[in-house]
Amino acid sequence: MGCCWLFEFSFSRKPKKGMGSSSGSGCHTSQASLLSNEGEDDDCGSYNGYMTDIGSADDCEFQSPTKRSEEILVYRMQCGLICREFPVKETHELIRSEDENGNKMVNEYVREYKIGAGSYGKVVLYRSQLDGKHYAIKSFHKSHLLKKRVAASETAMSDVLREVLIMKMLSHPNIVNLVEVIDDPATDHFYMVLEYVKGKWVYEGADPPGGIGEHTARKYLRDIVSGLMYLHAHNIVHGDIKPDNLLVTGSGTVKIGDFGVSQIFEDDNDELRRSPGTPVFTAPECCLGPTYHGKAADIWAVGVTFYYMVLGKYPFLGDTLHDTYDKIVNDPMYLPDEMNPLLKNLLEGLLHKDPRQRMTLENVADHAWVIGEEGPIHQYVCWCKYNCLRREQSPVSPTDVPTFQY
C-alpha cells in the first residue's frame, strides 16, 4: 500500500526515529509483499495482469473514489466520448451449466483452470464454444463486494464498477481489452470477460546479472509508453504500473492490464490522495504528503519497471516497508559506470525524485535512446479523438474511417 506519507519523509531528511514499519497500520513488511499487492489474507493480490485488490480502509487513509469519477465516465459515454467503434457486450442473463465432459460453464464459456484469486474475486481461464478463443474471466460475488469497505463511504463494488466503466472506454493495442460484462440481476454473480494474453510478463529473463537486454527493453518500453500516453491523454491514471500488470503477447506486444485502482479526472488536475499501489513502485512524492499527482507517479512506476528490465533488480528495495520507503525518498540510484550514457540519462529522468523535474511521457517518447533505430513512437489516433476531429472538419464517408494502427 503506497501510504508512506504516514512516515513523514522528506527529500532532505531521514524518517523520524521510532517511526517503524508498524506505523504502516496493517501494511505488511515482508520483502515479498513489497513486490506485490498481496497481503497475508490475499487483500492485495496481482494476478497475471488481470486483478489487483486493495486492502481495507483501515489499512491506510484513502481518498474515496467519489461519485464524481463515475459521473465523468457516464457523461463521456452519453456523449459518445469513448474509444470503441463497437461497445463492450453487456449480458444480463447468466446460465451456469456443464459441458459434455463435466466442465463448468458460464453461458458459452467453458472453464479450464484458475489463473489467480484475491479478496475481491478470482480470475479463471475459459474457452468460448462460439469462437474457440480463450478468455480470462474475472468473477465476483456482488454481496461480497458490497460488504467489503475500501473507504469511509465506499465499498469494493465502487472499485469494480469504476474499473468496468473505465475499461468500457478503452481501445488501444497496448491495453488488455474488456470483451463482455455478465451481470444477471437475478444472481449474485458478476463477470468481466477479458482478452486473454497468452505470453509472458515483461520481467521474464530480467534476472541478475544482466536484465533482458537493451533491444528487448526498448521494445517493451515503447509499448508501455504508448499505452500510458493514451491513458493519460484521456485523463486516466493507472495507479499500479508494474511488471506483473504488463503482459507480453506471443508476437512480443506489451499490453497494460489491471485497472482495479485506476482513477479518471475531468481535466488535467490529477491530484490524488488514495495510493493503493505496490510499495517498491511507489513514487517519492507519495511519501511526502497526503496528496500527489497520479500521472507523475505512473511515470515513476514505469521507471522502476524499466530499471528492473534493464538491470534485473529494483532500484530501491529494503528489507521492510519502512526501509523501502526510506530508500525511495533518500537513497541515490545506482547505475553502472559502463552503462550506455543515453540509457543512463533516460533512467535518471524517469526516476528523478522531484516530480516537477521528472521526465514526462512526451519527453520519454522523444528521447534518443527510446527512438533508437525504430524512429519516434507513433501517435495513436483513438476513435473518440477521430470523432472529435471529424466533427471539427467536414463530414467524411465511411470508407474514410481510419484503421487506428501504427
Which residues define the annotated binding site for ATP? 138
Taking alpha carbons only, the member of 159, 174, 389, 379 closest to residue 274 is: 159
Cα–Cα distance measured from residue 109 to residue 113, given in angstroms and rounded to the nearest whole number: 12
Q: Which three cell numbers stand for residue 258?
A: 489491471
Q: Which three cell numbers stand for residue 290?
A: 497526503
Phi–psi pair at 103, nearest 5 degrees: -80, 140
Q: Would you call 240 a catalytic residue per the annotation?
A: yes
For Cα atoms 277, 283, 287, give the angle at the middle one, nearest 5 degrees: 90
Taking alpha carbons only, the member of 142, 262, 267, 256 closest to residue 201 is: 256
For Cα atoms 260, 219, 207, give the angle at the middle one, nearest 5 degrees: 75
**Secondary structure of 70-132 in HEC code, one letter for each residue:** HHHHHHHHHCCCCCCCCCCEEECCCCEEECCCCCEEECCEEEEEEEEECCCEEEEEEEECCCC
> Could you tell me which residues are beta bridge partners of residue 178?
194
E strand map for 200-258: 200-201, 236-237, 246-248, 254-256
Asked whether 245 and 52 are in contact (CB, 8 A), the reply is: yes
Q: From the CB of residue 400, how many other CB atoms can be counted at a distance below 10 Å?
A: 9
β-bridge pairing 178-183 and 89-91: parallel
Cα–Cα distance measured from residue 289 to residue 4, given in angstroms and rounded to the nearest whole number: 9
Cα–Cα distance measured from residue 326 to residue 64, given in angstroms and rounded to the nearest whole number: 27
- Cis peptide preceding 341, ω within 30 of 0: no
Q: Could you tell me which residues are annotated as the binding site?
A: 138
Taking alpha carbons only, the member of 108, 112, 76, 77 closest to residue 93 is: 108
Considering the candidates 43, 183, 240, 323, report the single residue annotated as catalytic. Answer: 240
Q: What is the DSSP letter of 194?
A: E
Cα–Cα distance measured from residue 28 to residue 24, given in angstroms and rounded to the nearest whole number: 8
> Which residue numbers are catalytic?
240
